[in-house]
Chain A
Amino acid sequence: MKNSEEALEKVLAGLRDAEAAIGMERRILDGLLGLEERGAARPGSGWRRWLPIWMVVPGRPVAVASLVCGAALAGLFAVALAIPTIRRLGHGLVQARRSVTPVGSLALGTSETAAKSARPASSGSGVPSRAEIKGNGTGKVEGKGNVGSQKGVLGSDAVALEDMHAASRPAPPMPLTEQEKLLLRLVHKDAPVELAMLGPKARALQDLEDKAEFQRFFGQSMKQAAPEQSVTEQGVPQQSAREQVAPGQSDTSSTEQAMPAQPGTEGATSEQPLLEQAVPEQPTQQPSTPEKFAPDRSITQQARPRTTRTTGESE
């Protein structure tokens, strides 16, 4: 008990007799003087010392504070007004970018406007185009993404519904391939002339012309080759053979093979000569019937000069 009393008295005496360090007053005064000098340089005290000097001037703070508050409120109001506009602009930019995006890209950025612009082109043919389909598809996706563009979504939905309820039409005919175009060009070459040749009168007239030409040619050649006996010996049986063939006009195969280059003269059937024109003659056709052509060997020999004659005429 005595110890505790002593200890308590000792502690209280220590608290009572605590003395400041030597020179505390001087330090405090120096600090205060420095603070006063700084205060003279900058008016105001406390938090005001950190304010600009034009805000601390007596009488002004209330007006300045009201001005600052007003400016802050005006700024907030302006920002609140600007936010929807900025959002709208940003949405428009995004839509414009999507409409510019190429068709093949994964973004599929065609917007409702692109779908509408593509619609008249497709309505002419009656078949919805790819751009229209993609436009409709992306319009739905866009509507899911942006709540604010409900108008655009409704428009694209309407376009999609119209397309869905439209009457179905057959697909347009496929374009011809290059081979088909070539075949058509070959088949329809000089078609009216060939059809006319199917008539017996025109055909007989043509035969007569051919004969006259033949005679004319071989007549001249016989005169020129008169000294040469061998040529004349060959030329007489040729002429007789030709004369034997021509009146009957039954041996069409021999005439066809003898004069293959004349498209107008040969025409017993309508399709075979045309195909012969389209496809060049195969040299293997002649030896296919050797026993038939064996007696007409002279005719084939006569046919060769005829080609030279035509070339000579063309020259």
Chain B
Amino acid sequence: MTLVEGCSLALTSMEGVGSEIDLAALVETYSPLLFRVAHSVLRSRAEAEDVVQDVFVRVLEHRRSLTAVRDMRVWLVRVAWNLAMDRRRRIRPEQFDEGFAESLVARSLPADEALKEAQRLRSVLRELERLPKAERDVLLLSVLEELGTAEMAEVVGRSESAVRALLFRARTRLRERLEEGEGR
């Protein structure tokens, strides 16, 4: 809620000043969201931070045409998503899975149980990567719980119903595969 208020404030300030952009306010308001978007795709903190910086560099480059942007939040998420996808072609997120899975394991667990837990989380991430691209994208955007169906549809360039269907299929497929893997 506070984030949404911050966004609206930033947008209000942009409209009031006209072509002038309060870049510091934009960074303060949107960088955590953009970081999570990039991190869900890349699963690396350093890479996600670089993506966020690139997003604001784009803002600087297009500052003269930013007044035509209808929804600054969605526009920034879309830019971050596309930049993260471009970077994903150069790096393999699987190489960061081990560190990410270990960071998710509770530190209170014994070593052997922590190892098993990390392996299970890695298998989930592996199955997530095996999903079809559209389903995976919608699932990752929905995980953030900050974007509505319409916003997700705008980011991925599909209709809202398609996004809903993709999201349903993605969850179902992932669950089935994980159960199959556990049964083996």
Q: Which residues of A contact B (CB under 8 A)?
A: 1, 3-5, 7-8, 10-12, 14-16, 18-21, 24-25, 27-29, 31-32, 35-36, 39, 45-46
Residue of A nearest to B40 (CB): A15
Stretch at the interface among B1-9, B29-37, B68-76, B79-87: B29-37
Interface secondary structure of B, over-half rule? helix
Q: Which residues of A contact B125 (CB under 8 A)?
A: 11
Q: With A15-B40, A25-B27, A29-B27 given, is the CB distance from A45 to B61 under 8 Å? A: yes
A46-B61 CB under 8 A given contacts A11-B121, A28-B52, A29-B23: yes
Residues of B within 8 A of A19 (CB): 32, 35
B24, A15: Cβ atoms closer than 8 Å: no
With A15-B39, A36-B60 as contacts: A4 and B124 at CB distance below 8 Å: yes
Contact of A11 with B124 at beta-carbon distance under 8 Å, contacts A5-B175, A21-B45, A45-B61 already known: yes
User: Do A28 and B104 have beta carbons less than 8 Å apart?
Assistant: no
* Closest A residue to B31 using CB positions: A25
A44 smallest CB distance to B (angstroms): 10
Complex CA distance for A35 and B61, rounded to whole angstroms: 10
Q: List, in ascending order, chain A residues with CB within 8 A of B36's CB.
A: 15-16, 18
A12 to B140 alpha-carbon distance, docked (Å): 8
- B178 interfacial contact with A, CB 8 Å: yes
Q: Is B112 interfacial (CB 8 A cutoff)?
A: no
Task: Choose one: A18, A24, A27, A32; the contact of B40 (CB below 8 Å).
Answer: A18
Given A29-B27, A39-B60, A3 contacting B49 (CB threshold 8 A): no
Please judge, given known A-B contacts A11-B104, A39-B60, whether A32 and B23 are in contact too, CB under 8 Å: yes
A5 (CB) vs chain B CBs: closest residue: B175
Q: List the B side residues contacting A11 at CB < 8 Å.
A: 104, 121, 124-125, 128
Q: Does B48 contact A (CB under 8 A)?
A: yes
Assembly CA distance A76 to B48 (angstroms): 47
| Distance in angstroms between the alpha carbons of A72 and B27 in the assembled complex | 45
The answer to whether A10 and B104 touch (CB under 8 A), given A18-B39, A20-B48, is: yes
5 contacts between A and B (CB under 8 A): A4-B120, A7-B121, A12-B143, A14-B104, A20-B32
Not counting A4-B178, A14-B103, a sample of 11 additional A-B residue pairs whose C-beta atoms are within 8 angstroms of each other reads A4-B179, A8-B174, A8-B175, A11-B124, A14-B100, A15-B144, A20-B32, A20-B52, A32-B27, A35-B57, A45-B60
**Which of A3, A25, A32 has a CB less than 8 Å from the CB of B60?**
A32
Interface centre among A16, A31, A36, A45 (most CB of B within 10 A): A16
> Distance in Å from the Cβ of A23 to the closest Cβ of chain B?
10
List A contacts of B49 (CB < 8 A). 20-21, 24, 27-28
Closest to B181 in A: A4
Contact B174 A28 (CB under 8 A): no
Are A16 and B145 in contact (CB-based, < 8 A)?
yes
- In the bound assembly, the distance between CA atoms of A310 and B40 in angstroms comes to 141
**Residues A3 and B35 in contact, CB atoms below 8 Å apart:** no
Docked CA distance A58–B123 (Å):
55
Instruction: Decide: A4 and B35 in contact? CB cutoff 8 A.
Output: no
Query: Closest CB of chain A to B85's CB: distance in Å?
Result: 16
Set of chain A residues within 8 Å of B174, measured between Cβ atoms: 8
- Please judge, given known A-B contacts A31-B53, A32-B27, whether A18 and B35 are in contact too, CB under 8 Å: yes
Q: Which residue of B lies closest to A28 (CB)?
A: B53
Within the assembled complex, what's the spacing in Å between the Cα atoms of A5 and B124? 10
Contact with A along B117-158 (1 / 0, CB 8 A): 000110111001000000000001001110000000000000
List B contacts of A29 (CB < 8 A).
23-24, 27
Q: How far is the CB of B32 from chain A (nearest CB, A)?
A: 6
In Å, the complex CA distance between A45 and B64 comes to 12
Residues in B with CB closer than 8 Å to A24 are 31, 35, 49, 52
- Closest A residue, CB atoms, query B105: A10
Distance from B121 Cβ to chain A, minimum over Cβ atoms (Å): 6
List B contacts of A25 (CB < 8 A). Answer: 27-28, 31
* Distance, CA A230 to CA B9, complexed state (A): 172
What mask results when residues 153 to 184 of chain B are scored 1 for a CB within 8 Å of chain A, else 0? Answer: 00000000000000000000011001101100
